[in-house]
Amino acid sequence: MKRLRRVLLELWAMLPVAAVVGFLGPFGTYLSGDFLLRAGRWWIMLMGAYILARPTLIAWRAIARATRLPRGSLVFWGMVASSFPMALIWRLVGRDEVRLLGGYAGLLPFTLLCCLLVMTIAWWAERADAHLLRYYDEHMGPASPFVSPSTDGAPPLTPMAGKQVRLHQRLSPAFTGPIIALESEDHYVRIHGPHGSELILMRLRDAIAEMDDVPGAQTHRSWWVAKAALADGESVGKGREIRLTNGLSAPIARDSLDRLRQTGFLPD
């Protein structure tokens, strides 16, 4: 549901963008027709660029998460570099559009601008979605506590042994189960649970504070992990990572390893 909301927000944002670009008529397209015709042509071209650029953006974000490199810089320069092969693809499949933009010389800056535009729209959609969820929580009531149905007559399970922390109130009703870990991503915090994750616009230290007194520790400058989320029998591997109960691996900072072992958070 979260992804569907953001896709709808991004597609909606493409409409006014196409209208503005069609009104301005860049790349010599101002005399190619009236306003509606220009806006329609630019909407088609922008949607074609969106179809190419959006999966590329997702791929660079995944690479940033896998490599632990700074997400903002890697995604930005990755999209800039990706604009060159994307321009070649567009040249092969969009012959009429290439002629409209004046060939490859006009297509390359167009593709670069489209990559930057898609990044901006995705950035706006994430923040708009976070504000919509916050508005829902404030005016429609916070997400109801998660209760899983019992299959053997036992009482239902609730997060953290029947306790809701303040951070749960920021999550959507689709987030079920206890909060396992917190991961910082630029100005956002990704909340990891047993069945998925959600992205919230806030600082990591504020998110940790809203975990109340749930036992846990900050294993890395960008990670906080609940004590109950450590997989049984797991120890820190050569890559200084610890496995969690939901299958994820949380990094352990070199200067935090001794501290985490001395406090009993990690096994010796």
Burial 13-50 (b: 16+ CB within 10 A, else e): bbeebbbebbeebebebeeeeeeeebbebbbebbebbb
* pLDDT score of 110: 77
| Structure tokens, 224 | 């906080």
pLDDT tens for each residue of 187-235: 788 899 888 888 888 888 889 999 888 888 988 888 999 988 887 655 5
pLDDT tens for each residue of 127-186: 777 676 665 655 554 443 333 333 333 333 333 444 578 898 888 888 888 899 999 887
Q: Could you tell me the pTM of the whole model?
A: 0.51
Please spell the DSSP secondary structure of 48-110, one letter per residue.
HHHHHHHHHHHHHHHHHHHHT--HHHHHHHHHHHHHHHHHHHHHHH-HHHHHHHTSHHHHHHH
pLDDT tens for each residue of 26-74: 666 666 667 787 777 777 777 877 888 888 888 888 888 777 677 778 8
* pLDDT score of 268: 64
